[in-house]
Chain A
Amino acid sequence: MNAVLETRALCKSFGALVVADSVGFRLAPGARHALIGPNGAGKTTLLNLITGRIEPSSGEILLAGEPVTGLRPAARVKRGLGRTFQINTLFRQLAVIDNVALAIAERDGVAGGMFRPASRQRAVIDEALALLATLGLAEDARARVADLPYGKQRLVEIAIALGLKPKVLLLDEPAAGVPSLESHRILEVLDDLPRDIAILIIEHDMDLVFRFAQRITVLSQGAVLTEGTPAEIAADAAVRQVYLGERHG
């Protein structure tokens, strides 16, 4: 099967520090794929390489079979790459619905209109409301994001990305900082995400990873250590060593 997202021999180094070491990685259509690894393994670097926030030293990135290496982040978004952020990256002083509508309007190409009022963009607003309803945020549509509890702000993170109708969705620790009482809500939302979106999730919460992911890639020191099903990864001795910090040999 053709991968919707693929990296080939992707390398990135800052001086002598190698943060991505020939990473080859494939994301299948509709995948539920987790990227794990200890702190400093290069997970966020890989995400930033894929989205184009940083340029690779060498290697290639393909989106739906097309090379996107060197394209600006916005151009990759237009080709169906959506992402969320580990630390909330929201329009805090704006209403929840505006947070989502901004994304939908960009996707629809109506965000640059200067004369007609934004409130006449019925299609954008209706879609935003429907999207918020599926995430259980309908009642918060008019609330200011800054006034929402943290757990709901994490859902707005996901809502903005979904507003782009991405083919590939990169979730950077979607449950980070959410108290465990509220994190089940995030999990429900993740379970209900449309099946046609290929999802790559970075997560430290292993319960969440093993519940959500069908495949897991383990990164260590910028390189792919191994890849497999959750069962294979759980049984992998090298993975245990990396996580428990045991010495090799």
Chain B
Amino acid sequence: MSALPPAAAAGAAHAGGYVADPRVRWQEWLPWLLAAAAFFAAPDYLSLGARILIFILFALSLDLILGYAGIITLGHSAFFGVGAYVAGILGAKLGVTDPLVQLAAAAAAAGVLGVLTGAIILRTTGLTLLMLTLAITLVFLEIANKATSITGGADGLAGVVVAPVLGLFRFDLYGKTAYLYALAVLFVCWWLVRRLIYSPFGASLTGIRENAVRMHAIGAPVYFRMVAVYAISATIAGIAGALLTQTHQFVGLNVLGLEPSGELLIMLILGGVGRLYGAFVGPFVYLIAQDYLAKQFPEYWYFGIGLILVLVVLFARGGILGIVDAARARLRRRSA
């Protein structure tokens, strides 16, 4: 189903399945150690850090459907955007300021939307599916644009009030709370996604990606499973969107439409599709490169991003993690 090369080959990292060891390997603690170290070592970059963590969560949700289930989409921003606006409207208009309540509401709204849209569009495949996903996020973009009294329209929704996390930790000017809060939410979601990938359900998703015809022929409820994973992915994307609102205390139209979806796709492809940690590496490299290039070459920074993507697509179709895997395999062969 997926138009992308199957990166998650058996034997590659975190493909799941019945003989995969589900225990957390030592390397998998590295991102968390790095995130903790960055908190102390780079206090001036915590808002960029929080942004990276949020996009890692967003990319993780995309990897679940694209990398594992093989559902290709250009409309994942619909869920991200709905989550962002639900949290924003609650905080700015309805006086619901508790961050965890906002998060739960955003997750629920995005999840329900995932079930409703997934149930319709997952009856299609290929280009039809791709266009439908795009259409859905464009519809929401237009709604957010026109419903100015609720969403602020093109001006965005400012003044989102977010109470201290658990009544204790205020969102500060330096982004310390935002960073740790995003890190904690990402950690919980990562753990759940990882469990899912190593479960029988996760194995059946890779089965659907590899051969939906055969999954039907072994009696699997293919459509039901696809809607289920689509809704789970939408829920996580909604959480990521809410996090963005809460850490910025602002929502703009740029959370919806083709651009954030495409950017997310680029981040995931850059990191590596269907590898779990491609969703970590991609946004990390992309957003830091963007930050650096935008400062150095304010007019041409997109050229740098484009160049990176062209190089990855030409020479490393498994993304950055694909290069790492290939290098490790070569080392192992040499030492053997």
Among listed A19-27, A106-114, A192-200, A230-238, interface-contacting one: A106-114
Residues of chain B within 8 A of A114, CB atoms compared: 195-196, 199, 201-202
- Please determine whether A118 and B199 come into contact, CB atoms closer than 8 angstroms: yes
Cβ-neighbour of B11 out of A85, A128, A144 (below 8 A): A144
Residues of chain B within 8 A of A92, CB atoms compared: 6, 210-211
Residues of chain A within 8 A of B198, CB atoms compared: 117-119
Query: Is A142 part of the binding interface, using a Cβ–Cβ cutoff of 8 Å?
Result: yes
In chain B, residues 206-221, which have Cβ atoms closer than 8 Å to a Cβ of chain A? Answer: 206-207, 210-211, 213-221
- Please determine whether B218 and A102 come into contact, CB atoms closer than 8 angstroms: yes
Query: Is A60 part of the binding interface, using a Cβ–Cβ cutoff of 8 Å?
Result: no
Query: Is B8 part of the binding interface, using a Cβ–Cβ cutoff of 8 Å?
Result: yes
Given A117-B198, A119-B20, does the pair A106, B218 have CB atoms closer than 8 Å? yes
Query: Is B95 part of the binding interface, using a Cβ–Cβ cutoff of 8 Å?
Result: no
Q: Mark A208-239, 1 if CB is under 8 A from B, else 0.
A: 00000000000000000000000000000000
- Please determine whether B199 and A115 come into contact, CB atoms closer than 8 angstroms: yes
Separation of A144 and B17 alpha carbons in the complex (Å): 12
Query: Is B203 part of the binding interface, using a Cβ–Cβ cutoff of 8 Å?
Result: yes
- Please determine whether A112 and B214 come into contact, CB atoms closer than 8 angstroms: no
Separation of A128 and B19 alpha carbons in the complex (Å): 11
* Count of residues in A whose CB is under 8 Å from the partner chain: 43
* Count of residues in B whose CB is under 8 Å from the partner chain: 37
Separation of A78 and B216 alpha carbons in the complex (Å): 11
Among listed A6-14, A93-101, A179-187, interface-contacting one: A93-101
Q: Which interface residue of A75, A119, A163 has the most chain B CB atoms within 10 A?
A: A119
Cβ-neighbour of A93 out of B8, B200, B220, B221 (below 8 A): B8
Q: Which interface residue of A91, A93, A124 has the most chain B CB atoms within 10 A?
A: A93
Q: A168: shortest Cβ distance to chain B, in Å?
A: 13
Separation of A118 and B202 alpha carbons in the complex (Å): 8
Given A74-B221, A77-B219, A93-B210, does the pair A125, B201 have CB atoms closer than 8 Å? no
Please name 17 further chain A to chain B contacts, defined as beta carbons within 8 Å, in addition to the given A90-B211, A93-B206, A107-B218, sorted by A numbering: A74-B219, A77-B218, A85-B217, A93-B8, A94-B17, A95-B10, A95-B17, A98-B203, A102-B207, A105-B203, A111-B201, A116-B199, A118-B18, A118-B202, A128-B18, A144-B9, A164-B219
